[in-house]
Chain A
Amino acid sequence: MDRRAALRLLAAGAAAGTIPNELAALGRTLHERLGHGMRVLDPHQDATIIALTDTILPATDTPGAKAARVNEFIDLLLAEWVEADDRTTFLTGLAGVDTRAHEMFGKDFVDGTPRDQATLLTALDDEAARWKEMPGDKRGPEPFYRRLKWVTLFGYFTSQVGAEQEEHYLIIPGRYDPCAPIPTSKRPE
């Protein structure tokens, strides 16, 4: 069956209620609720998360972490998913970014110039890479930045914006090509 036929069949299914509309509705409700404010992150923490995640995954020819609302997903995980001590660890790590920002350029992270912010993130990225290289019994707890980098990636690529516009994720590929050519460098739009 080709993709068009599959889509036709799916459209017919949707009319009969076979696509779980309730799940889509749940997503919309969640979205609206979160739009009114964060449940764990205070406005400053939220602004810091937005600045950090959007520096890690900025808007380029596709939207970045901010447009993908990665901050809202992080707030949801902090509110409902992580254990209490992990939440504390994460928020302490987040506050630590401002401490480093003050040491480095005398301001909160969000008030730094893009250059200030990139300099700090470069340092954090190097530290995370060094931590990864250390033997497991020698290194301390996972740096906040490494955890943030993972959740930024995950939150972005599992968002509709990240999946559809950046990854070109297709819910229904419609065919299997076992050995498809890819461009040697950046994929074109």
Chain B
Amino acid sequence: MPKVYDAIVVGSGMTGGWAAKELSEAGLATLVLEAGRMVTLSDYVEHVPPWQVRFRGLDDHRTRSATQPIQKECYACDEWSSKFFVNDHENPYTTPEDKPFLFLRGRQVGGRSIMWGRQVYRWSDLDFEANLRDGIAIDWPIRYKDIEPWYDHVERFIGISGEKLGLPQLPDGQFLKPMDLNCGEVVVRDAVAKHWPGERVVTIGRCAILTEDHLGRAACHYCGYCERGCVTRSYFNSINATLPVAQATGKMTLRPHSVVHSLIYDNKRNRVAGVRVIDGVTKHAIEFRARVVFLCASTLESARILLNSKTREFPAGLANSSGELGHNLMDHIMGGGANGKINAPADRNDFGRRPNGIYVPRFRNLSGGPKSKFLRGYGFQGGAGREGWGRGSDLPGFGADWKHALRDPGQWGFGFYGFGECLPNHDNYVEIDPHTVDAWGIPALRINCAYSENEKALMQDASIAAAEMLAAAGAWDISPYVELNPPGKAIHEMGTARMGRDPKTSVLNAHNQAHDIPNLFVTDGACMASSANQNPSITYMALTARACAHAVDLMKRREI
């Protein structure tokens, strides 16, 4: 008899790390399957200066265009961190020609938690009630009170720095001391507070970066390049934090190079019996068995695994009696904003590279407030800074005086960059492309996704609102803009196996458990029934921890 694990977790990133930690801490023999290679602290390159990489940060663009033509669209896929992104030829997907989608991903132990943006914002009932209120898609099966203790639970472990604001639409969390706004940002914050009291707030980003030593991890040393790793483990990712705790229990087995092909279904018991794996190196097929399976492979990969797991009982994909599997794909539309020059202390500049910016919580369509011509809302990230030596290109002159003039920092500038909510839409969906397989012979996805007029209207409004705030702060040379980013670019994709109360219209129940198959859980972004406008990772992690507790409880009661 092959070994039967208590639990299999597919994926070792943001949510897989949490499932590994929670399940192994509960005493379950847990197998974590990761498609990519092992990553350790020795892979981190955040302290490698420009003069130690070949093109000083201009990137090896020939190699990048040849092997990562899609991945290079992400700012973090650069001369240092491109190794944390997949090879696009090994990992193909297709789209209709008129519906571009950027599938940006990392396949390695730690997944995309290594390169994530680290922004952490709770959802509120403004978000959990949104679908019900607007009559769009289906209602969330949970409310803020259901997830609040789990936000507390994950935030206490992760260590989140941020400022408490007492805003109903953006609940405060378990915060370490906030990072500081720089003196340019203070100017804009004060002007916005004066012009829109009680409505618009500029605060420091809430982020998963330690401002104080926390649970054996050191406070940030402000080198500034978190997406390249962190040897002091000051920002949260799964290899810095969750996986070491799981490892320490002695209950976790981590298997890299394990590309999950599909799930094994036992139709007599209506249970998932295990997973089929293609070894990433040998390309041999292997099977692993477990009592419970957690899919934490990412929104698109978890959907792909289920769609590739067709059985007689589930001809449209495992756990897909609703027909919603793969549908309702969302991202955050981003790129409505404005830049300008601001008047801030000329004799001051910030010191250190703060890996965080400002945040403006949603202020449109709040409960009891005025209604906009669009649904939902958006938030801003951004910040202030001064020009450096790069401005020398267009600074007239050369020679000693010109060189020394560049020693002073240049003009203060400020930018607001909007992230807007995407409405769930059944017509945005993924399916298996019958003609495309990846390097391991596994059928690939065809992604059909486009933004609607509502999302575009959000970004139009965001660019105007951003320009208004800059004007209120006395800025000049204000440039409002709306970038046309394809979906996927924000790397907040979600929604392909949504939670809901009704098995006829949703894939997962209120505990991320498949309606159709009780020992199957999906806890990554696939589970989301709407997208809100906040960066989603903390919500995925809280839902994962909550689902783990539920699964452990059911297993103790022998219900699964």
Contact = CB atoms under 8 A, between A and B. Distances in A.
Interface of A: 1, 3, 5-6, 9-10, 13, 16-20, 23-24, 26-27, 30, 55-58, 60, 64, 73, 76-77, 80-81, 118, 121, 125-126, 129, 132, 146, 149-150, 153-155, 157-160, 163, 166-167, 169, 171-187
Contact of A18 (B44, B181, B224): B44
Contacts of A10: 47, 231-232
Nearest to B42: A18
Given A154-B56, A176-B222, A132 B394 contact: yes
Interface residues of B, number: 61
Contact of B232 (A9, A16, A57): A9
Contacts of A178: 180-183, 185-186, 350, 354
Contacts of A81: 55, 58, 61
Contacts of B42: 16-18, 20
Interface string B217-242: 01111111000000110000000000
Contacts of B54: 26, 30, 76, 80
10 contacts: A5-B218, A23-B45, A60-B400, A158-B56, A160-B51, A166-B407, A171-B49, A174-B221, A177-B352, A179-B182
Nearest to B180: A178
B51 A9 contact: no
Interface of B: 41-42, 44-45, 47-58, 61-62, 179-183, 185-186, 213, 218-224, 231-232, 345-354, 389-390, 392-394, 396-400, 402-404, 407-409
Given A1-B218, A1-B221, A125 B51 contact: no
User: Is the contact region of chain B dominated by helix, strand, or loop, or is it mixed?
Assistant: loop
Nearest to B46: A171
Contact of B352 (A56, A132, A174): A174
A5 B232 CA distance: 10
A118 B50 CA distance: 30
A125 B397 contact: yes
Contacts of A181: 347-348
Nearest to A61: B404
B399 A58 contact: yes
Contact of A149 (B231, B345, B398): B398
A132 B393 CA distance: 10
Contacts of B47: 10, 19, 171-172
